[in-house]
Amino acid sequence: MTDWQHQTDALAFADGKRAIMLAMDMGTGKSKVAVELCLSRVHEKVLIAAPLSALGVWPREFNKWAPEYRVVVLDGPVKKKQRDAEAALKVAEARQDRIVFVVNHESLWREPFGSWAIKVQWDAIIIDESHRAKSPKGRLSKFLDLLAATHDRTTRLMLTGTPMPHSPLDIWAQYRFIDEQIFGKSFWKFKNRYAAMGGYLNKQVLYFRNQDEMHERMYRRAFRVTKDVLSLPSEVSVDRNFELDKHTRRLYDSMESDFYAAVDTGEITASNALVQLLRLQQLTGGHVTDDDGEVTQTGSAKAGILSDILQDIPNDEPIVVFCRFRADLDTAIKVCGDAGRNTGEVSGRHKNLTDGAEFPPDLDALVVQMQAGGAGIDLSRASTAIYFSVGFSLGDYKQSQSRLHRPGQRNNVTYIHLVASNTVDEKVYGALKRRENIVESILSERNN
């Protein structure tokens, strides 16, 4: 494995420590560090809890860096997840295979999975996007406390780019899982040590104090990497795969089957395939447009993934969401608004830009139609772009990236692609990465 220097430093920091936090920004390679740690410590049984939007990351990371592990992403109802995990673990133990289970945060603590997870003697437990467990009274946080108490000799990792998304007080519940001796067992004592309280019922934070001491204690178990590390490339691309909901999946499969049947008979060629491919692409966003132009909502899987991702990006960090279709624009605007972001739009309908065609300082999010986000627009105030949907033009795609990655950009830029598994999304992004004509690439793939 070839590591960036900060990844090598992270592994050195972990040496001799049973539990740590990898407080590494998105795109800095914290998942690879976690995989290497499991590999170097010869862990046989690994449990990973992650947000829904990040479940698909882990099979790719283990397949890339440690293919000797079998990775099982658990899906379906919680009872099914527990049954599937128990059965897979028995097979792995009989064969002496290394196995990794990946489950979403909300299922980790629910019964019967929670009780089963506590009984298993894990070699490593990894909590991805650990700031989701920042609430001391939250169910996930309380379960992690129990899990740590029953697995005190297990390697325990917390991964997050935003360890304190709202305030320094967010760190206590996470450290209860890592090492409760760092900040103590009482949240009340912790809060009064590091925050001056006042206001109604003494529940309002007036100001924070003893921050130097707090940081010194925190970094006994945390390794911090920000996006501006010198060894990082200036642009990082991340794919977030997800599954379509059952109703949309049935519609998609039926439409795709009809499309390829027409390709096989010669009814559809590169010159007339565009309309059908557009409809397939619309379905991955949860809507479809009929011949009369009427839009029908079919599902919300991609909207849910966008919402999930926004939870891990602080609201004061500006973002851009690129979309191809109007219905996607409407969906993204609603999701950003529901996440508490002051959201603007750049499209044929609206242009919420400054007089200098820049990202306005009073907005937290801009939802941008691909064709409208072209030349002359400066979005470099943001360093994160989320692609809800893209067009079939490589030129438009590269132009959209250059709206952020341009002179004046002070940070490394991260592009997050929302990709519906086993759909045209995968083919479109694959063709864009290969710089191929998308329609011809999809049709030639079918012919081959």
Element housing 381 (H / E):
none
Alpha carbon of residue 385 to chain centroid? 13
Which residue is listed with tokens 């993934």? 305
Helix axes 274-284, 246-264, angle to 10 degrees: 160
pTM assigned to the model: 0.82
Listed in order, the ranges of the chain carrying CATH 3.40.50.300 are: 235-243+282-447
* AA letter at 176: R
* pLDDT the model gives residue 446: 64
Instruction: Please give the CATH architecture assigned to the domain spanning 235-243+282-447.
Output: 3-Layer(aba) Sandwich (3.40)
Cα–Cα distance for residue pair 133/153, rounded to 1 Å: 21
**If you ran DSSP here, which 8-state letter would residue 404 be given?**
T
Cα–Cα distance for residue pair 301/319, rounded to 1 Å: 20
* pLDDT the model gives residue 177: 98
Q: What is the largest CA-CA distance in the chain?
A: 75
For every residue of 214-252, DSSP letters joined together read: HHHHHTTTEEEE-TT-TTS-SEEEEEEEEPPPHHHHHHH
* pLDDT the model gives residue 281: 95
**If you ran DSSP here, which 8-state letter would residue 398 be given?**
H
List per-residue pLDDT tens for the chain, 448 residues long.
578 899 999 999 999 999 999 999 888 889 999 999 999 999 999 999 999 989 989 999 999 999 999 999 999 999 999 999 999 999 999 999 999 999 999 999 999 999 999 999 999 999 999 999 999 999 999 999 999 999 999 999 999 999 998 899 999 999 999 999 999 999 999 999 999 998 887 788 999 999 999 999 999 999 999 877 756 668 888 999 999 999 999 999 999 999 888 887 878 776 678 888 899 999 999 999 887 788 999 999 999 999 999 999 988 899 999 999 999 999 999 999 999 999 999 998 999 999 989 999 999 999 999 887 666 789 999 999 999 999 888 888 988 998 998 878 888 899 999 999 999 999 999 888 887 777 777 777 665 5
* AA letter at 354: T
Cα–Cα distance for residue pair 153/149, rounded to 1 Å: 9
Cα–Cα distance for residue pair 269/251, rounded to 1 Å: 22
Classified as helix, coil or strand, 280 is helix
Element housing 413 (H / E):
strand 413-420
CB hemisphere CA count around 266 (13 angstroms)? 0
Cα–Cα distance for residue pair 20/219, rounded to 1 Å: 9
| pLDDT tens-digit series, residues 228-258 | 775 666 888 899 999 999 999 999 999 999 9
CB hemisphere CA count around 182 (13 angstroms)? 22
Cα Rg of the chain, angstroms: 23
Instruction: Please give the CATH architecture assigned to the domain spanning 5-225.
Output: 3-Layer(aba) Sandwich (3.40)
> What's the start-to-end Cα distance of the chain, in Å?
34
For every residue of 273-322, DSSP letters joined together read: -HHHHHHHHHHHTTEEE-TT--EEE---HHHHHHHHHHTTS-TTS-EEEE
What does the block give as tokens for 190? 């912790």
The 10 Å Cβ neighbour count of residue 438 is: 24
Listed in order, the ranges of the chain carrying CATH 3.40.50.10810 are: 5-225
The 10 Å Cβ neighbour count of residue 350 is: 14
Query: Are the C-beta atoms of residues 33 and 21 closer than 8 Å to each other?
Result: no
